[in-house]
Structure 1
Amino acid sequence: MADNASLVARDLKALWHPCTQMKDHEWLPLVPVKRGKGVWLEDFEGRRYIDAVSSWWVNLFGHANPRINAALRDQMEELEHVILAGFSHEPAVALAEKLVEVTPPGLSRCFYADNGSGAVEVAVKMSFHYWRNVGRPEKQRFITLSNSYHGETLGALAVGNVALYKETYGPMLMETITAPSPDCFEREEGESWEAFSRRQFEPMRRLMEQHHHEVSAVILEPLVQCAGGMRMYHPIYLELVREACDEFGIHLIADEIAVGFGRTGTLFACEQAEITPDFMCLSKGLTAGYLPLSAVMTTEDIYEAFYDEYENLTAFLHSHSYTGNPLACRVALETLKIFEDDDVIQRNRVLADRTAKAFAPLADHPHIREVRQHGMILAAEMMKDPAKKEPYPWQERRGLTVYKHGLENEVLMRPLGHVVYFMPPYVISESQIDHVARVALEGVDRATRD
């Protein structure tokens, strides 16, 4: 029978963990997990932790959700996997139909991949290939936002802009055009989110006007730049970018991998600007944290550009072995049914209001510059001198103090640098929200003591 110590010892002899300097685990203990139930994770010695980050933003309806478990068991008895080239199956078709129904109008085609980075790769390649197929091969470049993040594979990394992830691999990556982020943290004192986001659109428009003849697509994360420190902006920016993309003949790729499926207060963040992108990348919450799956939704116009006689070599020859996996598709279908049956979006608005109230005391903390929120995503930014926007040196890793304090008090928080954030499963209770907020405030107090 495994216990905490034996599992950790085995782990450190065999595993290489993601997004981790493994040497840290000489002094920072790993947390072994035996089981999960609802918002709780439990180790082998009975210690519990509220999963306040939804296990990297994927878990929507709690661990070991009975409805999703039942759907998965049922599908396992029917069909676990089959090649999707030349074959089809009910879960893949039904999920594609459902995604066409619930995504913004005009997105009529669904292409499956395995994860978020894979979806971005598909969208970037599909946009590039579209222009080639319609006789515009010169449109090869991409405009991205500063501080953006779209994944770790080479194409996804190239169209992102967080130096921590990208800089090392620069020589391997295609060159992109970078527009300044509409991140409202940078607004002037007294300036509204909308006014700042409008102002930040102007350099984006100039880049589009200057480079539209060679640009394939603009790619962005709607409303929240998650891995970039949960920086947020106003929906007007999406509206303005959509209008300019139409004007200049440029595709718009909306990376809703992290912000989709209810995170920002609507099912998809693009809804808040009432826009339809040319490509919408979906993953993470799509399967409520159960299985790897992603989808790229696109338009009939783009689909038609690839629809031709085989001899003309216009087909989109991109594939993953587990494309459209039946188990993952069935889980995703059940996830979308839960949204409908339980009126999740409306309930989330109540939880978001409670979250705002519970975390409000952080705004008065002498080392918090800003508490910001879009729906079920809230972030608080620790700074050495908030009035001057002077950050703590990144080498101090003060977020780790918040992380460790959380674990001591039954909460899993995983700050992004010095940004403490809350992105929980939607089954969290109001009292649990209050508990996490109290622990976060205590953790910030501890982390900012000189």
Structure 2
Amino acid sequence: MLDRLDEPMNLTQPEEVTSFQDEVSLTQMDVESLWHPMVQHKKYERTPPKRMDKANGCYVTDSEGKEYLDGVSGLWCVNVGYGRTELADAAREQLVELSYFPLVMSHSPAIKLAAKLLELLQFEGKVHFSNSGSEANETAFKMARQYHAQTEGSRRYKIISRYRAYHGNTMGALSATAQAERRAKYEPLVPGFLHVHPPYCYRCPFGKTYGSCNIECASSIENTVIHEGAETVAAIIVEPVISGGGVIVPPDEYLPMLREICDRYGILLIFDEVVSGFGRLGKMFGHQVWGVKPDMITLAKGITSGYLPLSATVTQQHIFEAFLDESDPTSHFRHINTYGGNPASTALSLKNIEIIETEQLPEQAAKMGAYLRAELATLEDHPYVGDIRSKGMLLGIELVADKETKEPLPGNKVGAIVSYCLEQGVIIGRNGSTVPGLSNVLIIAPPLILTKADADLIVAKLKEALNSQI
């Protein structure tokens, strides 16, 4: 969630020109008609939300003509930047050729995209399309449960995820999500979802220090499997880097250890790469940073750079083959999505991936992410900066009121820092609506086309914002 600081609009001023009348009309319609996500609307009675009208590259322009550097890529998705006419052209051409047909049959863009994804992932397997990361994860959970039922005849149904992780907002995906504020008032949720401690070195739940620990954040998951009964656990789902929960980067040993645990107990390993996919962490896919191969991968956001809705659940071939049994009328995957794999979305995705490859954006993310991290190092001595974490073009700055005790900086001050940056023309994020009292991590995840000048602007405005709250 992005905190906003919106300038009040005086609706009582004389209406002098048609454009101003139109602006007032749109503002009124917004407040009267739209239910915006992740925000308390009471404030919109005083201050209507900003409206963005244009965008190009790393920048968006609001209805008053003010330009902002988008330091979070929309919702961490506009990997190739805004205003790519070649993406619009790809979608338009496909809409003219074949606007829609469900994948109970087939069409060329979906076929080509599925093949391309498997090529990039170096997978022998299958691709199932949906519209969002939430739906991709729902699909993975259903596949995992059915897979075990049809290979072992077992009641493996439990899904293990980590505290602070976000996996979506549909009821199953929200059940995997372990952020108390997002779950509040929607419980009870779907049974069978368990949560374990994250690999959070800055606030190690085991009281250890990296370098003198045994990676208990991983080994403790094996203890959970044993105590729950391995025969009941279907899958473990993790983001390579916990993103919305505060950019929590695991120790290098962590993901290989998870792979070993899953192999030892016959558990499927699902990587949620909704944020980390398509170059964000400095490789085409996040798991490639650690050289660990999952059984299933969920993809969204960067798959189209946010230009159209699309997501994918990719499985290894042995999982797909468990669904091949004509003697059992319930053995096929009984799950359909009206818009999943839409021709325009898949055609656009192919062009998006072409841009990512041609412009070497994963390499660019690694290079510029390292530059941005080095520049942010100048903030490490600031009294409010407790920890800076990064991987590629995904960076988190944890703010504290006291460096010794690691007491989190109060939410109003964190919000004021985000708002100051917005006033100064730089959009940054924070881990809002996660854990009570711990929404204190600033998030920077700009488009992968970021320049040094753009990075310098982010750092400069962030310094000003931090100093404004002392």
Q: TM-score normalised to the size of structure 1? A: 0.94
Which ranges in structure 2 are unaligned for 5 or more consecutive residues?
Answer: 1-18, 432-438
Partner of 2:80: 61
Partner of 1:348: 365
Q: Is the 8 A contact 2:80 2:356 kept in 1?
A: no
Q: TM-score normalised to the size of structure 2? A: 0.90
Q: Tell me if 1:36 matches 2:55.
A: yes
Amino acid at match of 2:440: H
Partner of 1:259: 276
Partner of 1:436: 458
Q: Tell me if 1:156 matches 2:178.
A: no
Partner of 1:308: 325
Take 2:90 and 2:419, find their aligned partners in 1: how far apart are those partners? Answer: 36
**1:406 alignment partner, one of 393, 401, 421:** 421
**1:122 alignment partner, one of 116, 135, 139:** 139
Q: Deviations over 1:416-438 (max 9, x none)?
A: 23211210011221101100111
Take 1:174 and 1:246, find their aligned partners in 2: how far apart are those partners? Answer: 24
Q: Tell me if 1:238 matches 2:258.
A: no
Q: Deviations over 1:351-408 (max 9, x none)?
A: 1122112222221110110111111011111111122111134xx4323212221222
- SS at structure 1 position matched to 2:83: coil
The Cα shift of 1:218 comes to: 0.7
Q: Deviations over 1:207-243 (max 9, x none)?
A: 1233211101111111x21111222212321110111
Partner of 1:270: 287
Amino acid at match of 1:443: A
Amino acid at match of 1:180: H
Partner of 1:422: 444
- SS at structure 1 position matched to 2:256: helix
Partner of 2:107: 89
Partner of 2:436: none
The Cα shift of 1:73 comes to: 2.4
- SS at structure 1 position matched to 2:346: helix
Partner of 2:183: 166
Q: Tell me if 1:17 matches 2:36.
A: yes
Take 2:383 and 2:142, find their aligned partners in 1: how far apart are those partners? Answer: 47
Partner of 2:402: 385
- SS at structure 2 position matched to 1:397: helix
Q: Deviations over 1:167-226 (max 9, x none)?
A: 32221332422221112222499933x76582321211111233211101111111x211
- SS at structure 2 position matched to 1:231: coil
Q: Is the 8 A contact 2:31 2:48 kept in 1?
A: no
Partner of 1:99: 117
Amino acid at match of 2:184: E
Pair 213,195 (structure 1): closer, same or farther in 2 beyond 3 Å: farther
Q: Tell me if 1:247 matches 2:264.
A: yes
Structure having the larger proportion of residues in helix = 1
The Cα shift of 1:333 comes to: 0.6
**1:111 alignment partner, one of 124, 128, 141:** 128
The Cα shift of 1:19 comes to: 1.2
Pair 89,54 (structure 1): closer, same or farther in 2 beyond 3 Å: same
- SS at structure 2 position matched to 1:121: helix
Take 2:249 and 2:91, find their aligned partners in 1: how far apart are those partners? Answer: 35
Take 2:172 and 2:196, find their aligned partners in 1: how far apart are those partners? Answer: 18
Q: Is the 8 A contact 1:385 1:391 kept in 2?
A: yes
Pair 9,414 (structure 1): closer, same or farther in 2 beyond 3 Å: farther
Take 1:378 and 1:115, find their aligned partners in 2: how far apart are those partners? Answer: 23
Take 2:45 and 2:378, find their aligned partners in 1: how far apart are those partners? Answer: 35
Take 1:44 and 1:176, find their aligned partners in 2: how far apart are those partners? Answer: 44
Take 1:14 and 1:196, find their aligned partners in 2: how far apart are those partners? Answer: 54
Take 1:114 and 1:11, find their aligned partners in 2: how far apart are those partners? Answer: 25
Question: Which is worse superposed, 65-74 or 31-40?
Answer: 65-74
Amino acid at match of 1:397: N
- % identical aligned pairs: 31
Q: Is the 8 A contact 1:378 1:422 kept in 2?
A: yes
Partner of 1:338: 355
Q: Give the paired residue count.
A: 442
Q: Is the 8 A contact 1:80 1:326 kept in 2?
A: yes
Partner of 1:26: 45
Q: Is the 8 A contact 1:197 1:237 kept in 2?
A: no
Pair 433,27 (structure 1): closer, same or farther in 2 beyond 3 Å: farther
Q: CA RMSD in A?
A: 1.9
Take 2:328 and 2:344, find their aligned partners in 1: how far apart are those partners? Answer: 35
- SS at structure 1 position matched to 2:231: coil
Q: Is the 8 A contact 1:184 1:196 kept in 2?
A: no
